[in-house]
Structure 1
Amino acid sequence: MCTVSLFPVHATDFILTSNRDESPDRPAVNPSFSSVENTKLLYPKDPLSGGTWIGVSEKKRLVCVLNGGFALHERKATYRKSRGLVAKDLMLMQDVVEDVENYNFKDIEPFTIVMVDWSTHLQFFELVWDGEERHFEKLPLKPRIWSSSTLYTEAMKKERQCWFHDFLTEGDRRAEQILKFHKTAGGTNRDYGVIMDRGFVKTTSITQVEKCHYMVKMRYESLENELISEEVFDFQKSAMHG
């Protein structure tokens, strides 16, 4: 939930890749399909909260969560609702722009959410909840990287931006090359390399979502047991049965 990159592919498609930095004692369940409120969803499950940090919805929407807002915050002992459940709520929204404005974020831990919506045309959004206010904006369709404020200082974020810029100058933005960036950027820097390991928290998995025409592929790689799973969301078939 802590390093995310997003790339547009032409005017209709995209590739989003997410490195989950989490306690090794908090495993996840591989991505699978489920139906919530008569809506088909695809996401890996966090058994602790019942939510997720990344998922794709039949509403033609992708939601991806990073912990923390703009800056490091002081955690409360308890919160009303987990961020993983907020992600599921956002996947179910009918009109994400209108519904985000009416959503109750009070007493939810700060987060940053990256959203891609292609219900009418390809759109990128960023939603930041800083604990007091929501900051919701539409983003230009350009490559971008995010790093979680709970784990990475501004100096670390800037250095990671430099790695990302260097990758962009290489010009090869295929899914395989982006995945390689998410595995190798920062080299052996275990403190804030894109694959990080501080002992109590480490990169436990990488999820890549690639949309190509009517198909959305979710590739999930567990770094803990070196297992890879892939699921495909066929939106053309989904529309035919809907």
Structure 2
Amino acid sequence: MCTLSWQYQADGLHLVFNRDEQVTRPIALLPQTVTERGIAAMMPIDPQGGGTWLAVNERGQVWCLLNDYASLKSKPAAGGRSRGLLVKQLAHCANRQQQDAIMQQDKLQGYAPFNLLLFANWQEPEQWHWDGQQLKQYFAVCSPVSSSGRWPRLIPALRRWYWRAKVSPATTAAQLLEIQRTAKPINSFIGIAMQRASTQTVSTSYVHLHAQGASLKYWAGHPRQQSQQATCEVALSWSQTCPPRYSGFQPLALPAVLAKTLPQVAAKLPIWQMRCLQHCLAERQLNQALRQLSQQPDQHFCDGALQYLGVIPQVIACRWPAAHSRPVFVCNHPTGGLDGLLLIALLQKRYPDLQVIANNVLQVVAPLASFILPVPVFAKPAAAIPQLTTAFASNCPLLIFPAGRTGRRNAQQQIDDGIWAKLAVTLSLRAQRTLTLLHIDSHNSRLFYAIATLRNALHITTNLEMFLLSREMLKPAVKQPRIFVDIPMHPIELEALADSDWQRAQRLKQRGMQLPVIYKEQQDAAGYTSCSRRTR
């Protein structure tokens, strides 16, 4: 039973964690810096299990563990593995590949249900939910996260409602700490700082992550007995830095964008037509969102945008490519701009130097400009080849949408983004890069596809439905999209797919559309997601 809350402010991440436990449980050891396998991490220690519920390591990662009573079907068996040891093990891993090897569904058998959150690189946390049988992963999770042994769904919901009602962008770190120490809402039985006959909040931890490192303040005991002075304070410096970037608010202006990308069209458009386009593309609503989101670091922008839109994506993956393999990610394009937000938010957590090969128009969104490798879509395609060749020859992880267009419904009512270009395959083979296939399981609104169908029936060549893409992004039809990650494909495997690069690109597209079915069949058959590659 715990409550974790956090907020990004101008001076970094502020995180507060209440640990709720039985009053008969041994008192935890004060936070200390522990070094194992060459990685230093500061954490309090549970003397009974030997693990921890909160760990901050020198790589800038914060791991937080909460028990999940809503998924608990029966009383945990005696002698089960301590979930706190899992946090301790993860915090001392040298890289994400080692952590991924631990967070596999078949390796979590024996652990009671839990929620595990990871904060890194000034972004919103990744969350793993283990219900005792199945592991699910989410990202762009909203604060706070809470658990309770009594009324395990109602009480956390009340705590979330109270916290979000009290916290605003102007809330200070001291006020966050004060909210975490309150017995509200209602009373101490359900309060954020809870106190019952046999269980209560036994400690409060406050973590501040900043550009140089992190500090951890720890208060032992129930908040009613806690003094203003922390019981213990520990600090840690980063071994590798990832300083926050701030681009600030730069409003979108359609006339200026058109004048830069399509000057001839912009010169011929009457003012009334320009105003109509600005309305159709929801320029005012987009600027309202940008003004709010640009207050945070650029690394936080995509996560913040997903939270602003109310989107909570789920990730289904069993293996990720190593950063040193120079991965190239290719993906379908079902919904438009939201696809880019989803994948940047997901991939930059693992690959901070990610570059997205995309329309040069997207550089007008200032917080995204550092991620965009611009391609002049309205110029001759051959003009972009030298720039793309240089990008593939580099070591930066790359993301590309081979279709280059948003999907429509085909005759089988599937979301189909058309023929995939062979360029990503050709350049990946030439540069000997690992290629990983992604698939976003999502769609746009019925109106979007109805207009596309009507346009085709009337033989109208102008893509009228494209004018709705901004509004589709601002009001997503699917709030919980799923992102499937296929097994990384080495150059020799990619070359063996077919006889030509064009055929290889179409094979990748076909496999991507089959990934939801393949993963489900493997999970149903084996009880967990297999990492084998099987063609259909």
**TM bin (shorter chain):** 0.7 to 0.9
What do residues 193-237 of structure 1 show as CA deviations (whole Å, max 9, x unaligned)?
0111112110011001111111211010012574621111122xx
The separation in 1 between residues aligned to 2:214 and 2:30, in whole angstroms, is 16
* Structure 1 match to 2:346: none
1:173 equivalent in alignment to 2:171: yes
Q: Hey, what does 1:204 align to over in structure 2? A: 202
Task: Flag the structure with higher strand content.
Answer: 1
Closer, same or farther: CA 4–69 of 1 in aligned 2, 3 Å? same
CA distance in 2, matches of 1:156, 1:47: 28
Q: Secondary structure at the match of 1:179?
A: helix
Cα deviation for residue 48 of structure 1 reads 0.5
Contact 2:177 2:206 in 1 (8 A): yes
For 1:59 and 1:78, how far apart are their aligned partners in 2? 35
Deviation at residue 187 of structure 1 after TM alignment: 5.7
Distance 2:137 2:23 in 1: 32
8 A Cα contact 2:119 2:125, kept in partner = yes
Corresponding residue for residue 109 of structure 2:
106
Tell me the distance in 2 between the aligned counterparts of 1:14 and 1:62: 11
Structure 1 residue 145, shift from structure 2 partner: 0.6
Q: 1:69, 1:198 → 2: CA distance?
A: 17
The residue aligned with 1:39 is 39
Are the equivalent residues in 2 in contact too, given 1:152–1:192 (CA < 8 A)? no
The gaps in structure 1 that reach 5 residues or longer are none
Opposite residue 113 of structure 2, the aligned amino acid is P
Contact 1:2 1:19 in 2 (8 A): yes
1 CA distance for matches of 2:144 and 2:77?
Answer: 30
* TM-fit CA distance, 1:190: 1.5
Change (3 A) 1:59 1:79: farther
**8 Å CA contact retained: 2:217, 2:234:** yes
Equivalence for 2:128: 127
Q: Mapping of 1:26-175 within 5 angstroms?
A: 26=25, 27-68=27-68, 70-93=70-93, 94-95=95-96, 98-102=100-104, 104-118=107-121, 122-139=123-140, 143-169=142-168, 171-175=169-173
- Tell me by how many angstroms 1:69 deviates: 6.0
May I ask how many residue pairs the two structures share in their alignment? 232
| 1:149-172, Cα deviation, whole Å (9 max, x unpaired) | 434432222221221121124x43
Q: Structure 1 segments of 4 or more deviating over 4 A?
A: none
The letter of the residue matching 2:171 is R
Structure in which a larger fraction of residues adopt helix: 2
- Give the TM-score normalised by structure 2: 0.40
For 2:140 and 2:120, locate their aligned partners in 1 and report how far apart those are by CA, in whole Å: 11
Contact 1:9/1:15 (CA < 8 Å) preserved in 2? Answer: yes
Instruction: Provide structure 2 residue ranges, at least 5 long, that are not aligned to the other structure.
Output: 242-536
CA-atom RMSD in angstroms:
2.4
| Higher deviation after alignment, 153-162 or 107-116 | 153-162
Q: Which residue is 1:18 aligned to?
A: 17
Give the drift of 1:74: 1.6
- Write out per-residue CA displacement over residues 9-35 of structure 1, whole angstroms, 9 at most, x where no aligned residue: 35x931211100001222101101111
* Paired position in structure 2 for 1:214: 212
Please say if residues 75 and 109 of structure 1, whose CA atoms lie closer than 8 Å, have aligned partners that are also in contact.
no
Write the distance in 1 (CA, Å) between the matches of 2:191 and 2:123. 30
CA distance in 2 between partners of 1:151 and 1:46 (Å): 23
1:79–1:109: 8 Å Cα contact kept in structure 2?
no
CA 1:73–1:172: 2 relative to 1, 3 Å: farther
* Preserved CA contact (<8 Å) 1:20 1:205: yes
Q: Hey, what's the Cα distance between the residues in 1 that align with 2:202 and 2:76?
A: 25
Counterpart CA distance in 1 for 2:157 and 2:30 is 32
Of residues 98-107 and 63-72 in structure 1, the stretch that sits farther from structure 2 once superposed is 98-107
Q: Determine the C-alpha separation between the residues in 1 that align with 2:186 and 2:154.
A: 18
Q: CA deviation at 1:8?
A: 2.4
Distance 1:176 1:59, change over 3 A: same
> Is the contact made by 1:114 and 1:125 (CA closer than 8 Å) also made in structure 2?
yes
Check conservation: 1:72, 1:150, Cα contact below 8 A: no
Question: Could you give the per-residue CA deviations for residues 103-129 of structure 1, whole angstroms, max 9, x where no partner exists?
Answer: 6111111101111122xx635211111
In terms of Rg, which structure is larger?
Answer: 2
Contact 2:40 2:92 in 1 (8 A): no
- In the alignment, the residues of structure 2 paired with residue 239 and residue 165 of structure 1 have an alpha-carbon distance, to the nearest angstrom, of 33
TM-score normalized with structure 1 length: 0.86
CA shift, 1:58, in A, is 2.0
Could you tell me whether the CA contact under 8 Å between 1:73 and 1:110 is conserved in 2?
A: no
Q: State, as a whole percentage, how many aligned pairs show the same letter.
A: 24
Q: Verify: 1:232 aligned to 2:228, yes or no.
A: no
